[in-house]
Structure 1
Amino acid sequence: MKLGIINSAFGQAGVDTRTGLEHIARIGFDSVDIFTEAIGIEQEEVGLIRKTCEENSLPIVSTVVVSAGLIDFNDPVRDFHVERSNRFVDLGQSLGSDNLLLVLGEYIWQREVIPPEAQWEWGVEGVRQIGEYAGARGMEIALELEPFRLSLLNSVPKMAQFIDDCGLPNVKANIDVSHLVLADTPPDALELLRGKATHVHISDCDGKVHGDLPPGRGVVKFAPYLQAIKDLDFDGSISLELEYSPDPDKIVEWVEEAYSATNSLMQQVDLRN
């Protein structure tokens, strides 16, 4: 598999797009995931991303969108978020990315008032529309598993069920190792996602709170999870998700540390291409 990173690690530290992408290539990453806003993005920025990645032989594997409104109880809100997600598909297609990393929302009002089954069905309906749009353009959907109590997709069984309910071959799962730990999910549970996974996020945490730390700075035991991912036998990218560095002035060192640690972990299980 490839070793990549979401470029937001640099963006959140105030580093401009070109410089961030150049750092990613120089450090040695095989690929990059792009975090931006598809609605209103200037074509000049799109061209800059494409040109910088081409010049640095840095394939774009994924574009990322958080679309909590896909399970809102208001029809116009859901319709907007389907359309917005489709704009991300268009952006991904223009950048040559393989998938759209799609993050859904949470059940509203503690799963009271609005039947949770209704929000589930709204999610399936919306993702199916986006999946059909993406499939016609040769792209996959990679659904994010979130570890939070009210998240729609907060466990491997729920992820597998949701993918089955969508019923599209290009709607698959993103496996986030840190999120699995926070959700008390053992590595062997990933067998439920055989044939249903396409992308991976990796980061560390303290085992209690969402962290997005460089591997080695938390408590995650990565080897069993990486072996389970390898056993699923799918060709994808393992992308570092590093958010909100404690010292933005040292973001380069933060990313270099994460790269070195993750590369070592992947080599231990012979997972990196």
Structure 2
Amino acid sequence: MMRIGMNTLLWTENFRTEEHQGLLWKLKNWDFDGVELVADAIPAAEASSIASMLREVGLQCTTIAALDANVADPASKNPMLRRAAADTLKLAIRNTKELGAELLCGPLFQGLGRFTGRGPEPEEWNYAVETIREAGEYAQDLGIRLALEPLNRFEMYMVNTLREGMRFCREVGLPNVGLLADTHHGNIEESDVETSWQEAAEFIYHVHISENHRGVPGSGHAVPPALFRLLQEIDYDGWLTIEAFSQTVPGLIPRLHIWRAYSEHTDDAARLGIDYIRRHLKAGGTD
């Protein structure tokens, strides 16, 4: 049965127990099943208290991570950056376990912010596969699945489509390493979103519901009603997590180019988005 989550990056990059308990209760009252937290930004001592708070509120969670290419990069030719990437991912995996989650997702193929002006070289690709395999084996021992997210060409050059992601996962060769299918990135990179999701169905471990403009789901064209019919047809039974962004998180503005608001209130992406998702799931993807 599909569960609906909300990525907390709409409000904060640094989720903390005392500061954000009220946010969890709001999400619970809006009928969310869980939240998505940034795993590598949580101090180890904080993870256990967040886990207790999630249990108190009655929410489950998934986690997300992304790597800064200047600090950690699975695909780098620099062994120190590859080592840092593996260590950062292992930290995120441990926090994921401590939070009581079972899945860590994100664009883990490469460090973000690095572009070469060409596609991935075989050496870079192989380095990335090796690094993710190491992290995947570590995650497997802790009962955690990894869902790797292809990003659009303006944010990543290593893996842009689900087909490329399938090739990558096959080379990693671990049953707990699959893909995150994101409607925003698919809207840009896939020639036919429905066909690409059908082809990748067995690899899709996680889904991000994210509009073409990153605003309220259903207010753009990247999350059509037919998407929910497709998910039911491929027997997807994982999370549908809303990923939206706003100008309330200054650190994300230059990274994601969020120059203007797409709704009157920040909360709209969550409050209105879950209504849109539940309505179309119930209707079987019809208008």
Decide whether the 8 Å contact of 1:18 with 1:48 is kept in 2.
Answer: no
Matched ranges for 1:3-42 at <5 A: 3-11=4-12, 16-38=19-41, 41=43
CA–CA distance in 1 between the matches of 2:242 and 2:27?
11
Could you tell me which of 77, 80, 105 is aligned with 2:81?
77
Per-residue Cα deviation, 1:94-141 (whole angstroms, up to 9, x for no partner): 1111111131336732128xx611111111111100100000111100
Decide whether the 8 Å contact of 1:4 with 1:239 is kept in 2.
Answer: yes
- Matched letter for residue 28 of structure 2: A
Decide whether the 8 Å contact of 1:188 with 1:228 is kept in 2.
Answer: no
User: What is the root-mean-square deviation of aligned Cα atoms in Å?
Assistant: 2.6
- Matched letter for residue 56 of structure 1: V
Percent identical: 20
- What does residue 166 of structure 2 align with? 160
Deviation at 1:174, TM superposition (A): 0.7
Compared CA separation, residues 238 and 182, structure 1 to 2 (3 A): same
Larger deviation, residues 242-251 vs 226-235: 242-251
Per-residue Cα deviation, 1:140-194 (whole angstroms, up to 9, x for no partner): 0000121225521101210111111111111001111121111134212222213
CA–CA distance in 1 between the matches of 2:106 and 2:54?
22
- What does residue 177 of structure 1 align with? 183
Matched ranges for 1:202-241 at <5 A: 202-205=209-212, 211-241=213-243
CA–CA distance in 1 between the matches of 2:34 and 2:15?
21
Residue 190 (structure 1) aligned with residue 197 (structure 2): yes
Compared CA separation, residues 244 and 58, structure 1 to 2 (3 A): same
Deviation at 1:42, TM superposition (A): 5.2
Q: How many pairs does the alignment contain?
A: 261
Residue 111 (structure 1) aligned with residue 110 (structure 2): no
- What does residue 64 of structure 1 align with? 64
In the superposition, the TM-score normalised over structure 1's length comes to 0.86
The SS at the match of 2:202 is coil
Unaligned runs of 5+ in 2: 248-260
- What does residue 284 of structure 2 align with? 269
- Matched letter for residue 275 of structure 2: S
- What does residue 54 of structure 1 align with? 55
Decide whether the 8 Å contact of 1:216 with 1:261 is kept in 2.
Answer: yes
Compared CA separation, residues 229 and 151, structure 1 to 2 (3 A): farther
- What does residue 132 of structure 2 align with? 127
- Matched letter for residue 179 of structure 1: H
Decide whether the 8 Å contact of 1:13 with 1:244 is kept in 2.
Answer: no
Compared CA separation, residues 97 and 219, structure 1 to 2 (3 A): same
Compared CA separation, residues 249 and 216, structure 1 to 2 (3 A): closer
Residue 99 (structure 1) aligned with residue 103 (structure 2): yes
CA–CA distance in 2 between the matches of 1:117 and 1:125?
12
The SS at the match of 2:32 is coil
CA–CA distance in 2 between the matches of 1:229 and 1:142?
17
Deviation at 1:248, TM superposition (A): 9.8
Could you tell me which of 273, 282, 285 is aligned with 1:258?
273
Decide whether the 8 Å contact of 1:23 with 1:252 is kept in 2.
Answer: no
The SS at the match of 2:27 is helix
Unaligned runs of 5+ in 1: 206-210
Decide whether the 8 Å contact of 1:13 with 1:251 is kept in 2.
Answer: no
CA–CA distance in 1 between the matches of 2:277 and 2:47?
29
CA–CA distance in 2 between the matches of 1:253 and 1:157?
33
The SS at the match of 1:127 is helix
- What does residue 208 of structure 1 align with? none
The SS at the match of 1:250 is coil
CA–CA distance in 2 between the matches of 1:73 and 1:10?
35
